[in-house]
Chains A and B, each alone.
Chain A
């Protein structure tokens, strides 16, 4: 008879123990019981995993190092063989002002002492991502998407500088696009790419095609008919428009 008691008792203890262990889930810092825990700590490289310790093995030089690393210095991604595409996507030939190191925390760029925002960027009037009749529907649709994701919380759904962050007073000083018609396409690009004033650089968030798409979309806020009358992507101030060729040459010298 003692055996039965022991059996029942043993079973009770085991069940209770398992249930108690299982209830660890209520601790938010614990992900609960794992079956084959090894599988959650992949030895294969995954982003956002600290490889300083994998399966109990310590590698001190990898501690707190991102597994998602910077590309090797001086390399550019491969953008295919389409010349137009490559020209559009290669790093921008207008360099940031050296002040941006301390004001916007830019690193990894070649800087210049020249105030390129007022000179080179101002003179860059033509949007190299050409707006044509065929692609404008796509560009504006894509622009709207990018704008909603990246800009609207400050600059507002309508581009009037009244996004939710402004309305509830969290952030101040976002301009209305309607007041900024005089800026050239290059200056708009510069502001998004390297940042301007309180706005930070967005080069890490958006690629160049996306930024030029946004420049088109911002022009649409300033001028409802933007794109309807032009077949070439251009700014609203036509008088100082440069021929497309010059800009191409500049790019070519950069490449060489």
Chain B
């Protein structure tokens, strides 16, 4: 049974392979004479043209028919090879040259057959209204809010039930002729009950007071802690789509991070470097329109009007004004990765948020810290842990200030630094990272 089954399988596989090679062989000769118009289109034309969308150049679907109708025969070849010559000799070509402010590249080395192949390929394309644009779907769930409200409602119902039960007990007691407590409020009744059971009341009060005291201190320790702060922004910017799916480096948009104190919020022209072409779908369209409004870009006419406006983002990571923090110092010199402090933005579906330290600790490669994010404890904890030998900053060339200090510390006169060098490593703290004046001045 098994034997025959195995044989059967083997036979099938061989059969499939054989048929496969045969059919591949059979198909090949039929296709070779044609030039691959699609490949040519993407290598030569796609930079500016799209079959169905006006971009830098006009859309190309149906263009051949228009040329055949309006221009001298064969003029389209001339146009593609050298549009200036075509525009000089043909009125239709001249009108086309006025369509767009940009001038087309000249393709002197392209053959008529290749042009035919490209145009045939373009005309064979079918417009796809949906398309494979932007893989990112952002379903920002309101689940959390909903469950919060649910808890409140449950609590209220619970309270009502308790009060109702208490009322029933009172009614029963009165009906059975027990101790009457008429005219007494709930509080007075509770007080009478507490006096009767003084010992339990006292123990209970002490426990309650202690719990409240602990809770009070815990709350006071949250003062000035900004973890979880995620203010709403003018545009619901999905980091996961940009940094995650599309693989854009953080430093492309936040490009001053390596040169300046501030990491920088991208100016609208940086958004437009991609969004000139990417219009988005569904709910993205309205968001991207806000960029267009700010940039003064008209996506239909494909031109900038010059009328620009601001996008008023809300600042998320705010430090008190008595603290000096410099991004370039940390990123360029220190070689600290963005995710050490900002978390893994490639998975962050929404706008920027101050990540709780517990989240930061989950990220692989991060230095493990205990104090809440953006507090001073958090800063100096990291300064105490980070070794300067870890410096691998991108523009770090191995001959700068810190390397020199490090070399001197390790190889020079050790007596002064004996205490620090006991563990044979140099941390930021030991190079002055815990000096008040490094950050407060």
> Taking the complex as formed, is B272 at the interface, i.e. its CB lies under 8 A from any CB of chain A?
yes
* Pick from A41, A154, A205: contact of B255, CB under 8 Å: A205
Give the Cβ gap from B358 to chain A, nearest Cβ, in Å.
14
Q: Are A168 and B135 in contact (CB under 8 A)?
A: yes
Q: How far is the CA of A204 from the CA of B273 in the complex (A)?
A: 11
0 or 1 for each of B261-281: is its CB under 8 Å from A? (1 = yes):
110110101101110111000
Inter-chain contacts of A48 with B (CB < 8 A): 262, 265, 313, 315
Q: Are B222 and A197 in contact (CB under 8 A)?
A: no
A sample of 16 more A-B contacts (CB under 8 A), given A153-B247, A172-B42, A172-B50, is: A8-B209, A11-B212, A15-B215, A25-B227, A28-B228, A29-B230, A31-B226, A32-B229, A103-B304, A105-B304, A150-B255, A168-B132, A171-B278, A174-B47, A197-B48, A205-B252
> Taking the complex as formed, is B43 at the interface, i.e. its CB lies under 8 A from any CB of chain A?
yes
Inter-chain contacts of B155 with A (CB < 8 A): none
| A171-B304 contact, Cβ under 8 Å, with A11-B209, A35-B224 | no
Q: How far is the CA of A81 from the CA of B246 in the complex (A)?
A: 42
Segment from B85-93, B173-181, B294-302, B431-439 that makes contact with A: B294-302
Give the Cβ gap from A8 to chain B, nearest Cβ, in Å.
6
Q: How far is the CA of A21 from the CA of B218 in the complex (A)?
A: 12
> Taking the complex as formed, is A255 at the interface, i.e. its CB lies under 8 A from any CB of chain B?
no
Q: Are A153 and B102 in contact (CB under 8 A)?
A: no
Residue of A nearest to B208 (CB): A12
Q: How far is the CA of A48 from the CA of B213 in the complex (A)?
A: 40
Q: Is the interface of A mostly helix, strand, loop or mixed?
A: loop
Q: Are A102 and B265 in contact (CB under 8 A)?
A: no
Q: Is the interface of B mostly helix, strand, loop or mixed?
A: loop
Segment from A85-93, A141-149, A241-249 that makes contact with B: A141-149
0 or 1 for each of B70-105: is its CB under 8 Å from A? (1 = yes):
000000000000000000000000000000011100
| A170-B304 contact, Cβ under 8 Å, with A18-B219, A28-B229, A47-B261 | no
Q: Are A205 and B312 in contact (CB under 8 A)?
A: no
* Pick from B224, B249, B304: contact of A101, CB under 8 Å: B304
Q: Are B228 and A25 in contact (CB under 8 A)?
A: yes
Q: Are A32 and B353 in contact (CB under 8 A)?
A: no
| Complex A-B: 19 CB contacts under 8 Å | A8-B209, A16-B212, A22-B220, A22-B223, A25-B228, A28-B229, A35-B224, A40-B319, A47-B262, A68-B262, A104-B304, A105-B306, A150-B249, A152-B247, A153-B247, A170-B278, A179-B44, A198-B55, A198-B276
Give the Cβ gap from A200 to chain B, nearest Cβ, in Å.
4
Q: Are A103 and B255 in contact (CB under 8 A)?
A: no
**In A137-183, which residues have CB < 8 Å from any B CB?**
138, 142, 145, 148-150, 152-154, 163-165, 168-176, 179
Q: Are A39 and B322 in contact (CB under 8 A)?
A: yes
Q: How far is the CA of A154 from the CA of B169 in the complex (A)?
A: 74
* Pick from B42, B213, B225, B246: contact of A153, CB under 8 Å: B246
**In A60-105, which residues have CB < 8 Å from any B CB?**
64, 66, 68, 99, 101-105
> Taking the complex as formed, is A44 at the interface, i.e. its CB lies under 8 A from any CB of chain B?
yes
Q: Are A33 and B315 in contact (CB under 8 A)?
A: no
> Taking the complex as formed, is B394 at the interface, i.e. its CB lies under 8 A from any CB of chain A?
yes
0 or 1 for each of B134-167: is its CB under 8 Å from A? (1 = yes):
1100000000000010000000000000000000
> Taking the complex as formed, is B1 at the interface, i.e. its CB lies under 8 A from any CB of chain A?
no
Inter-chain contacts of A39 with B (CB < 8 A): 320-322
Taking each of B45, B248, B272, B302, which has the highest tally of chain A beta carbons within 10 Å of its own beta carbon?
B248
> Taking the complex as formed, is A253 at the interface, i.e. its CB lies under 8 A from any CB of chain B?
no
> Taking the complex as formed, is A50 at the interface, i.e. its CB lies under 8 A from any CB of chain B?
yes
| A204-B229 contact, Cβ under 8 Å, with A44-B321, A103-B302 | no
**In B391-414, which residues have CB < 8 Å from any A CB?**
394-395, 397
Residue of B nearest to A18 (CB): B219
Q: How far is the CA of A156 from the CA of B343 in the complex (A)?
A: 25
0 or 1 for each of B187-230: is its CB under 8 Å from A? (1 = yes):
00001000000000000010011001101100110111111111
Q: How far is the CA of A145 from the CA of B320 in the complex (A)?
A: 33
Q: How far is the CA of A195 from the CA of B273 in the complex (A)?
A: 9
* Pick from B132, B135, B223, B315: contact of A32, CB under 8 Å: B223
Q: How far is the CA of A18 from the CA of B221 in the complex (A)?
A: 11
Q: Are B226 and A32 in contact (CB under 8 A)?
A: yes
Give the Cβ gap from B48 to chain A, nearest Cβ, in Å.
5
Inter-chain contacts of A102 with B (CB < 8 A): 101, 303-304
> Taking the complex as formed, is A34 at the interface, i.e. its CB lies under 8 A from any CB of chain B?
yes
* Pick from A42, A44, A149: contact of B249, CB under 8 Å: A149
Q: How far is the CA of A169 from the CA of B277 in the complex (A)?
A: 12
Q: How far is the CA of A42 from the CA of B249 in the complex (A)?
A: 31
Q: How far is the CA of A49 from the CA of B313 in the complex (A)?
A: 10
Q: How far is the CA of A254 from the CA of B269 in the complex (A)?
A: 27
> Taking the complex as formed, is B318 at the interface, i.e. its CB lies under 8 A from any CB of chain A?
yes
